[in-house]
Amino acid sequence: MAVRPPDRDELAAVARSLGMDLDDADARAYQALVAAGFASYDAVEQLYAEIAPERPQRESIRPDDAGNPLGAWYVRTDITGAMDGPLAGRTIAIKDNTAVAGVPMMNGSHTLEGFVPSRDATVVSRLLDAGGRITGKAVCEDLCFSGGSHTSITGPVRNSWDPTRTTGGSSSGSAALVASGEVDLALGGDQGGSIRMPAAFCGVVGHKPTHGLVPYTGAFPIELTLDHLGPITRTVADAALMLDVIAGRDGLDPRQPADLQPERYAAALDGDVRGMRVGVVSQGFGWVELSEAGVDETVRAAAGRLRELGIEVVDVDLPWHRHALHVWNVIGTDGVTVQMINGEGYGHNWDGLYDPELIDYYGRQRRATVDRWSPTVTMVALAGQWSIEHLHTRYYAMARNLAFEVRRHYDAALDDVDLLLMPTVPMVARPIPAPDDPLEVQVARALEMIVNTAPFDVSGHPAISVPAGLSDDLPVGMMLIGRRFQDATVLRVAHAFEQLVGGFGAPSARERATA
């Protein structure tokens, strides 16, 4: 379809929005010059049509309430991959921020409702090629900007341990489906803790890989420097197996280093952990008005049990862990507004694979549905846009420079120990807020739990949440953090701990009966 260039009045309006004052003669001249330039837009559209992927025919259905008791499924499907492979026969849920070609993708938001992608995300292709069976898309929160499970437009996702409580977000459906046993494996995404937080609340394993280890191609971006994809599983062994499949360069994602060489994660699980040192970060405990004594005590007790494996456990003082949250807050406000909102999701100026159809669909829907965003998305859009207009992204630039300091301080701590340790989240799963609760409550239940997880999205270090025990009969997650691109070490120690304590049970029959 030929692009209609702006007429003189439209161009004059654009000029005014930029602070320009064009006289009639200049307006006529620029209108002709601009119109001529749009011939290239028409040519690009014709050229792209020759290489654009053709959408496959894949069946999917929206489950009814009876078939979706936790509210965790967005759509059900049954897509089989290779006949054999490391994931042969394993059922997989894909977080609904990640494209499965021919299957609806809503990203928890009115702004993508009705969109159907034409191309599988790289990780989806890899899971299918490894023999996996995709049985549906898991609900995620509105544009994935929430650590709670009450902000998707499809309704709350409920925790199988107690259906009145949050699963955490934004990979809410992924964690709920794994914890309830409806799937073997799930894909999650993490920009502020969205793999690890729901894993902790639901009593499962969630691994955020080193930034760039897993290609993000085909997942809806939030902020290029924060975007991660990774596994949510019932065991560490399954997380390692899944990481073996999805890790590695795809040549389409500039987040990935050119010299990336993945480790062999499943093969490394049984390596010796004796003599390793784990540093318990004091700043990860005792968050005022957030940390629950039962959570801190459960994680400290779990850390002490590592000594039974021959691991030395020491205390670490790391003030920059508290500073790092402020750095994330600025990146997660200005950066998200520039890219996810004003940049139609993908942003610009990076050398990766774009999705023009999604960008166009989202761009049109965003303008039509902006007043239907969740409170968390609305809050970040208001703060970020004000900052852009009045502070000119100066603070984003400072925060991105400080990200090197954040990484340096974690790296320095990891020079003295092999892993860092702290609670994944400072509390157990809290009740899902009611729809008529005040905005302040809605936002608190969506963001209060990110304090320990978000810093490692800034630094890029690998971090896993593994169940540590129970507090008030609800799961507690212990987070282990390793050196960048040494994910195998993180997984090995997490696996050793899991084997030591005998694994971690699913919700009891009583809890399942009330779900």
Catalytic residues: 95, 170, 194
Rounded to whole angstroms, how far apart are CA atoms 24 and 35?
16
DSSP string across 261-289 = ----TTTTTTS--TT-EEEEEGGGS--TT
Rounded to whole angstroms, how far apart are CA atoms 97 and 225?
17
Other Cβ atoms less than 10 A from the Cβ of 41: the count is 12
Beta bridge partners of 61: 76
Quick one: which of 206, 273, 216, 272 has its CA closest to 240? 206
Q: Which amino acid is at 343?
A: G
Q: Tell me which H or E stretch contains 92.
A: strand 91-95
Other Cβ atoms less than 10 A from the Cβ of 370: the count is 14
The CA–CA distances, whole Å, from 163 to 69, 204, 514 equal: 9, 16, 7
Q: Which amino acid is at 381?
A: A
Q: Which amino acid is at 337?
A: T
Question: How open is the CA angle 294-296-302, to the nearest 5 degrees?
Answer: 100
Tokens of 405: 């300091």
The CA–CA distances, whole Å, from 113 to 100, 229, 368, 453, 513 equal: 15, 22, 12, 29, 32
The CA–CA distances, whole Å, from 28 to 12, 15, 39, 41, 239 equal: 10, 13, 18, 21, 62
Rounded to whole angstroms, how far apart are CA atoms 63 and 67?
6
Q: Are 112 and 364 in contact (CB under 8 A)?
A: no
Rounded to whole angstroms, how far apart are CA atoms 278 and 481?
9
The region that residue 168 occupies, defined by phi over 0 for left and psi between -120 and 50 for alpha, beta otherwise, is left
Tokens of 206: 């969630």
The length of the chain is 515
76-101 burial: b if 16+ Cβ within 10 Å, else e: bbebebeeebebeebbbbbbbbbbbb
